[in-house]
Amino acid sequence: KKLGAKGEMEFTGRGVGYCAHCDGAFYRNKTTVVVGGGDTGITSALYLSNICKKVYVVHRRDELRGAKSLCEKLLEKENVEVVYNTTVNEIKGGIKVESVVLENVTDNTTTEISTDGVFVAIGITPVNALFKDLVETDNSGFIVADESCKTSLDGFYVAGDLRTKPLRQIVTAVADGANAVYSVEEYLREL
Known catalytic residues are 19, 22-23
| Among 47, 71, 53, residue whose Cα is nearest residue 115 | 53
List all residues 6 or more positions away from 23 whose beta carbon is below 8 Å from its beta carbon: 11, 17, 117, 119
Instruction: Give 18: exposed, middle or buried? Use CB within 10 Å, 0-12, 13-18, 19+.
Output: middle
Cα separation, 57 vs 52, in Å, equals 13
| Among 18, 90, 29, residue whose Cα is nearest residue 55 | 29
| Among 1, 2, 11, 15, residue whose Cα is nearest residue 93 | 15
Ordered alpha helix ranges (H), the chain: 20-23, 39-49, 68-76, 170-190
Q: Measured between alpha carbons, how far is residue 130 from residues 58, 123, 151, 157 in Å?
A: 34, 21, 15, 14
